[in-house]
Amino acid sequence: MSPTFRRRRLARRLRQMREHAGLTLEEAGAKLDKTRSALGRIETGTTKADVHLIRSMMDIYDHYDPDLVDLVREANRPGWWTKYNIDDRGYISTEAEAAGVFEFSLMNIPGLFQTEGYMRALFAARRVRRSSEQLANDVAARLHRQQRLTDEEFPLQLVTIIDEAALRRRVGGAKVMRDQLRHLAIVSELSTVSVQVLPNDAGAHPGMDGAFLILTFPEDDPSVLYVEYTNGSLQVENAEEVAAARLVFDRLRSEALSPSDSVAFIERVADELHGE
């Protein structure tokens, strides 16, 4: 379980404690010497809370819970991704706490399925130049993320729809792409994975505006819509927007090939690759 997940769980429990005590954010903030916005960020997990603040909250809310002290210590431990110089508030930290991911991929093979050769070619093609150390960190981090698909303690359920264009694009050349497609066919057999191909024959479809992911979480944490663009990304928690994205995903899924037909399709595309 990731520190970020523990932080979100802690934040939810702190909000419940305050509400049970009958205090508004303004009232609780005044007693804790915090502004409304500062306390709100703690209650959403955006800002870390320390042990001293937690003890003060338990006193003011008249609710003693020794587990909270342990939870805040665990939540403040750095995530595994920080050793690769990756932002603690980026996509990876969000994915690390997710129970499920629904991903529509328009131009690339999804990262959790990528071979090392494919990802190196993909990273090299990006406009921002990477040092050899940065490239090694990016590759190592992505390979580490892939372990969630076979993790026994907290596996990630990954449901993907891949546009045929991603299968046809020769990232890294014929050999790299052939190896990638064969690897994709193998990992699609994992119990945690569902792969469906959206063929060109499907014609125009609602996913043509761009790739997106929907992440779901344990307990009552809200789902998140994640969209990447050229110079950044968006993480959306608005329930209506997430629900609308899920409707689009479900429609794409209904138009895609079945999982078994998708594997056969992927294998045919791999067999068609020649050279190198």
- Comparing 57-61, 123-127, 170-174, the range with the smallest average pLDDT is 123-127
Distances (CA, A) of 254 to 70, 176, 199, 225: 45, 30, 12, 20
Let me know the angle formed at the C-alpha of 268 by 263 and 271, rounded to the nearest 5 degrees.
Answer: 125
Closest CA to 195 of 168, 163, 152, 165: 163
CB 198 within 8 A of CB 162: yes
Q: In the structure encoding, which two tokens stand for residue 198, read together?
A: 């959206």
Which tens digits make up the pLDDT trace of 197-207? 999 998 999 88
| pLDDT tens-place string over residues 67-121 | 888 888 877 777 788 888 876 567 888 898 899 999 999 999 999 999 999 999 9
The per-residue pLDDT for range 216-255, each reduced to its tens digit, is 988 777 899 999 887 788 888 899 999 999 999 999 999 9
> Which residues does residue 212 pair with via DSSP β-bridges, in sequence order?
104
Q: Is 22 left (phi over 0), alpha (psi -120 to 50) or beta?
A: left
Residue 87's pLDDT is 66
What share of the chain has pLDDT > 70, as a percent?
95
For the chain, how big is the Rg over CA atoms in Å? Answer: 22
Could you tell me how many residues make up the chain? 276
pLDDT (0 to 100) of residue 4: 61
Query: What does the pLDDT read at residue 276?
Result: 58
| pLDDT given at position 3 | 54
Judge if pTM exceeds 0.85. no
Please compute the mean of the pLDDT values over residues 39-66 and round it to a whole number: 88
List of domains in the chain:
3-77 (1.10.260.40), 81-272 (3.30.870)
The predicted pLDDT at position 128 comes to 65
Q: Give mean pLDDT, residues 165-175.
A: 95
Mean pLDDT of the region 26-30: 93
Residue 35 has pLDDT above 90, yes or no: yes
Helix, strand or coil for residue 89? coil
